[in-house]
C-alpha cells in the first residue's frame, strides 16, 4: 500500500492504495465520491471520465498511484458550493440530455473539458469531442444540443 | 488484475535498470492498452515501471527539417502542437484521430509504437514518413522496426525515448475507422520527400506494411490519378467481420488516392 495525496475538487485528500487500484476505484471506494460511474470498465464507455490536471481521462484506465499529486475534478466538483449547477449541468437539464442518467457524469465531465479548450464548438466538433462517451438512451441529439447551448450561456460568464 | 510492484523512474537509465531487474517487468507509458490487457488477465507483469517523470522522454522539438517527439508525448499533445500542424499536418490529423479525446490525453506515441497493434495509427506515420525510433541504446529505422503482429525490433528492456520525423515535401493520412473502436479498418499514410515516395498501410494486415506497387506508381506521378487501376493483392490481408481481405485490398487503393489528394491540398 502507498499513501497517496491528491487535490480532489479543491480539497487535499489522502488515502492508501495498493498499486493495482484504479483511479475510478480510489475515487469511489476510498474517497466515497460515487458520482464517477463505472460502466464498461474496459475504457470504452466514458462513464468514469474525470479531469486530471486539466485533461479529461477515463479513470478506469489510470492507476490511482499515477494520479498521486494531481489536481482532479469529478462530477461532485463542477456545481458551485451553494448548489448552483454548472452551465453544462443546467443545459443538460434544460435540453433533456439524459434519460437513465448513468452516462451523465462522464458526459458532463467530457463536455466541461471540451468547452475549456473549444469554447465555441460546431455540432461536428461536439460529436467528435464526445466520441469517448456512450449513451444508450438519448441518441445523442439532445446531448449535442445541450453542449452547444452551454457554450452560448458560458460566453457571458 | 494481478498484483505487481510499482516503480517510478526519474531517468531513462533508472527505467531501464528497473525493467531489467524485474522478473517480467513492463514499462508503463500511458497505459491505454496495457491496463485494459492486465484487467483482462492477458498480461500479468511482475513490475510496472512508470515513465511519467522521465524528462528526456517529454517535449517536442523542431530542428531544421526534423521533428523530434518525446516518447511520452500524448496523442493530444502531438495533435495540438503548432509547429507540427504547420510543418506536418498529416501527423496532427493522425494523432487527433486516434481513439477518443480521453484516450488521446493519456496514450503516448512511444507506447503505441512499442505495442505495434496491427490496426494502430502511429505505425503508419512512422513507416509512411520514414521516421527513426530512438531508444536508450540505438536508433532504429522505421523499415527495420515493425516486425509482425505486436512484434517490433525492441529487445527485452529496451526503451523508446524519442521518435524523429523528417519533414516531407508532402504527406497525407486517411483512415477508414472501425465505427465502434475507431481503430483503422484500413489507414494509409502517403508521403513524398527527397528520399522518395512512401505509402504505409495499417489495419489491413498482421502488421503495418509499405504498399510497393502504389509507391512505384506514385514515384512516376504523385497524383491520385496515378493510382488508377493499381491494385493491391489481398493474399496476406486480414478478413474479419468488419471486412474481408478483398474489401480491405480495395480500400487501400481508394484511401491511398484520398491520402495523396489531401497531401496535395496542403503543403506538408
Which domains does chain A possess?
Answer: 2-77 (3.10.20.30), 87-153 (1.10.150.120)
Task: Between A89 and B179, name the one with better pLDDT.
Answer: A89
- Exposure b/e, A68-95, CB count within 10 A at least 16 = b: eebebbbbbbbeeeeeeebbbbbbbeeb
In a domain, B87, yes or no: no
pLDDT in tens, B139-197: 999 999 999 999 999 999 999 999 999 999 999 999 999 988 889 999 999 999 999 99
pLDDT at residue B247 tops 80: yes
Specify burial of residue B127 (Cβ count, 10 A radius: 0-12, 13-18, 19+).
buried
CA distance B168 to B172: 10
CATH, residue B224: 3.30.390.50
Closest CB to B1 among A2, A20, A56: A20
Identify the pLDDT of residue B267: 54
DSSP B160-180: EEEEEEEPPSEEEEEEEE-TT
pLDDT in tens, B80-89: 999 999 999 9
pLDDT in tens, B88-98: 999 999 999 99
In a domain, B129, yes or no: no
In a domain, B178, yes or no: yes
pLDDT band at B268 (very low <50, low <70, confident <90, very high): very low
pLDDT in tens, B206-242: 999 999 999 999 999 999 999 999 999 999 999 999 9
Q: Min CA distance, B2 vs chain A (Å)? A: 7
pLDDT at residue A43 tops 60: yes
The whole domain housing B45 covers: 1-53
**Interface test with chain B among A2, A3, A43, by most B beta carbons within 10 Å:** A43
CATH, residue B10: 3.30.43.10
Contact (CB, 8 A) for B103 and A132? yes
Give the B window 121-180 contacts with A, CB below 8 Å: none
Identify the pLDDT of residue B179: 85
Please indicate whether, in this complex, the C-beta atoms of B32 and A61 are within 8 angstroms of each other. yes
CA distance B180 to B69: 29
User: Is the minimum CB–CB distance between A154 and chain B shorter than 8 Å?
Assistant: no
Number of domains in chain B: 2
pLDDT at residue B17 tops 90: yes
pLDDT band at B64 (very low <50, low <70, confident <90, very high): confident
Q: What is the mean pLDDT of residues A64-70?
A: 98
Amino acid at each position: 500500500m502507498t499513501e497517496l495525496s491528491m487535490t480532489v475538487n479543491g480539497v487535499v485528500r489522502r488515502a492508501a492504495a495498493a498499486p493495482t487500484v484504479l483511479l475510478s476505484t480510489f475515487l469511489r471506494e476510498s474517497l466515497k465520491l460515487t458520482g464517477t460511474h463505472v460502466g464498461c470498465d474496459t475504457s470504452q464507455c466514458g462513464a468514469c471520465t474525470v479531469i486530471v490536471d486539466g485533461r479529461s481521462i477515463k479513470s478506469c484506465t489510470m492507476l490511482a498511484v499515477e494520479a498521486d499529486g494531481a489536481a482532479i475534478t469529478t462530477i461532485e466538483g463542477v456545481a458551485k458550493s451553494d448548489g448552483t449547477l454548472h452551465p453544462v449541468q443546467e443545459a443538460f437539464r434544460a435540453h433533456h440530455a439524459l434519460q437513465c442518467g448513468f452516462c451523465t457524469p462522464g458526459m458532463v465531465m467530457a463536455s466541461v473539458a471540451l468547452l475549456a479548450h473549444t469554447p465555441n464548438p460546431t455540432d461536428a466538433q461536439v460529436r467528435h469531442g464526445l466520441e469517448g462517451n456512450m449513451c444508450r438512451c438519448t441518441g445523442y441529439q439532445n446531448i449535442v444540443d445541450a453542449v452547444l447551448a452551454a457554450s452560448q450561456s458560458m460566453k457571458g460568464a | 488484475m494481478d498484483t505487481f510492484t510499482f516503480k517510478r523512474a526519474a531517468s531513462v537509465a533508472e527505467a531501464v535498470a528497473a525493467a531489467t531487474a524485474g522478473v517480467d517487468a513492463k514499462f508503463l507509458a500511458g497505459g491505454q492498452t496495457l491496463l485494459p490487457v492486465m484487467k483482462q488477465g492477458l498480461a500479468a507483469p511482475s513490475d510496472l515501471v512508470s515513465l511519467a517523470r522521465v524528462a528526456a522522454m517529454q517535449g517536442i522539438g523542431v530542428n531544421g527539417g526534423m521533428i523530434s517527439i518525446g516518447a511520452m508525448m500524448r496523442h493530444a499533445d502531438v495533435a495540438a502542437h503548432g509547429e507540427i500542424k504547420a510543418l506536418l499536418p498529416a501527423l496532427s490529423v493522425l494523432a487527433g484521430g486516434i481513439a477518443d479525446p480521453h484516450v488521446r490525453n493519456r496514450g503516448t506515441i512511444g507506447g503505441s509504437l512499442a505495442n505495434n497493434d496491427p490496426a494502430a495509427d502511429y505505425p503508419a506515420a512512422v513507416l509512411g514518413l520514414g521516421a527513426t525510433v530512438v531508444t536508450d541504446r540505438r536508433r532504429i529505422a522505421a523499415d527495420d522496426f515493425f516486425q509482425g503482429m505486436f512484434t517490433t525490433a525492441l529487445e527485452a528492456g529496451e526503451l523508446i525515448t524519442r521518435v524523429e520525423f523528417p519533414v516531407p515535401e508532402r504527406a497525407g493520412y486517411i483512415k477508414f475507422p472501425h465505427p465502434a473502436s475507431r481503430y483503422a479498418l484500413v489507414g494509409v499514410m502517403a508521403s513524398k520527400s527527397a528520399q522518395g515516395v512512401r505509402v504505409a498501410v495499417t489495419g489491413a494486415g498482421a502488421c503495418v506494411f509499405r504498399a510497393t506497387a502504389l509507391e512505384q506508381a506514385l514515384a512516376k506521378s504523385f497524383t491520385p490519378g496515378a493510382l488508377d487501376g493499381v491494385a493491391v493483392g489481398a493474399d496476406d490481408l486480414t478478413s474479419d467481420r468488419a471486412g474481408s481481405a478483398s474489401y480491405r485490398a480495395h480500400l487501400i487503393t481508394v484511401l491511398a488516392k484520398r491520402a495523396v489528394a489531401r497531401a496535395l491540398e496542403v503543403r506538408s
